[in-house]
Structure 1
Amino acid sequence: MSDLRTIAPGQRQDHAAHSDAPIISASNIAVKFKVEGGIVDAVKDVSFQLYRGETIAIVGESGSGKSVTARTIMGLLTKRAVVSGTAKIDYDGKNVLKFSDRERRKLRGDRMSMIFQEPMSSLNPIYTIGSQIVEAIRVHRRVSRREAQKRALELLVQVQIPDPESRLNQYPHQLSGGQRQRVMIAMALANNPDVLIADEPTTALDVTVQAQILNLIRDLQKRLGMAVILITHDLTVVRQFSDYVYVMQNGEVREHNTTAALFENPRHPYTRHLLGSEPTGQANPMPANCEAILEGKAVRVSYMLKRGGFFKPQLHELVAVDSLNLKLHRHETLGIVGESGSGKTTFGQALVRLINTDSGEIYFDRQPIHRKTRQEMRPLRSRMQIVFQDPFASLNPRMSVGQIIEEGLIINRIGQNRAERLERVQEALTCAGMPHNILSRFPHEFSGGQRQRIAIARAIVLEPEFILLDEPTSALDLSVQAQIIDLLRKLQDDGGLSYLFISHDLKVVRALCHRVMVMQHGKIVEEGPVDEVLSQPKTAYTERLVKAAFEVAA
Structure 2
Amino acid sequence: MPQPFISVHNLCMDFDDTRVLNNVSFEIPEGEIMGVIGRSGAGKSVLMHLLRGVEQPPTKGSIVYHMAACNRCTFMDLQSRAGGRCPECGGELVAVDVDLWDEKSDGMKSRVMNRTAIMFQRTFALYGDDRVIENVLHALDDIRYPQEQAINRAADLIDQVKLSHRMMHIARDLSGGEKQRVVLARQLAKNPAMLFADEPTGTLDPETARLVHAMLIEAAGRNTMGMVVTSHFPQVIEDMADHAMLLVNGEIATIGSPKDVIHSFVKDYQEIEESAPTERGEKILSARDVTKRYVSVDRGVVRAVNSVTFDVAEKEIFGIIGKSGAGKTTLSQIIAGIIEPTGGEMNILIGEDWVDMTKPGIDERGRAKEYIGLLHQEYDLFPHRTVLDNLTDAIGLEFPKELAMRKAIVTLKMAGFSGEKSNEILHRFPGELSDGERHRVALAQVLIREPRIVILDEPTGTMDPITKQDVKHSILNARDEMDETFIVVSHDMDFVRDICDRLALMRGGKIIKIGPTVEVLAQVTDDERRD
TM-score, normalised relative to structure 1: 0.45
Q: Which has the larger radius of gyration?
A: 2
